[in-house]
């Protein structure tokens, strides 16, 4: 396994739609998943998409800590060729961060409830509902597969800020600020 370099905003691979995965028997797919897992852990992210490591493939991984999901963890999930379907038009805004946009954060509106389907490494089909932070992470990671970074989803660019500045201001005011490195 290896820690891979992470593409940053501006890289061409982050601007285009990633290619569908068609060969589930390709041994390089499992190697890529292992390398992405090591990279995500090393970067302290909760998700990572293949384009973020310069691979134009429709592959993402994520996990949800129990502290962000009502005490219930969503274990590491590897999704190939994922599809998201919003279950309502209801959206919520929250701060997002991204390993490809280091140091910055901003308020991003996302659907609050979704269902997502995907293939696993063996090619088996899965479908899951998600809400709250779980839904936010899935949407954030899948955006990478379509060449979209979170600043492109922001409704108000005045909320784009350096995370350390917001954290320092929150600390000085005695407030808690939840900023996540998603992917």
Active site residues: 141
Could you tell me if 106 and 95 are in contact, meaning their C-beta atoms sit under 8 angstroms apart?
A: yes
CA-CA-CA-CA torsion sign (174, 175, 176, 181): negative
At 143 the three-state DSSP class reads: helix
- Token look-up 């370099």 returns 5
**Cα torsion 150, 155, 164, 11: sign:** positive
Closest by Cα among 101, 97, 143, 106 to 8: 101
């Amino acid at each position: 396994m290896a820690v891979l370099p992470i593409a940053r905003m501006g890289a061409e691979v982050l601007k285009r739609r990633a290619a569908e995965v068609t060969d589930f028997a390709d041994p390089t797919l499992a190697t890529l998943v292992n390398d992405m897992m090591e990279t995500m852990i090393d970067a302290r992210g909760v998700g990572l998409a293949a384009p973020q490591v310069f691979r134009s493939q429709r592959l993402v991984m994520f996990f949800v800590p129990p502290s962000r999901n009502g005490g219930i963890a969503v274990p590491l999930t590897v999704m190939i060729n994922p599809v998201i379907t919003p279950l309502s038009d209801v959206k919520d805004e929250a701060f997002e961060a991204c390993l490809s946009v280091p140091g910055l954060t901003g308020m991003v509106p996302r659907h609050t409830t979704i269902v997502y389907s995907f293939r696993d490494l063996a090619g088996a089909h899965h479908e899951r509902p998600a809400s709250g932070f779980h839904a936010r992470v899935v949407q954030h990671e899948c955006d990478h597969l379509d060449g979209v970074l979170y600043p492109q989803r922001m409704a108000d660019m005045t909320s784009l800020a350096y995370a350390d500045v917001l954290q320092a201001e929150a600390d000085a005011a005695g407030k808690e600020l939840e900023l996540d490195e998603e992917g």
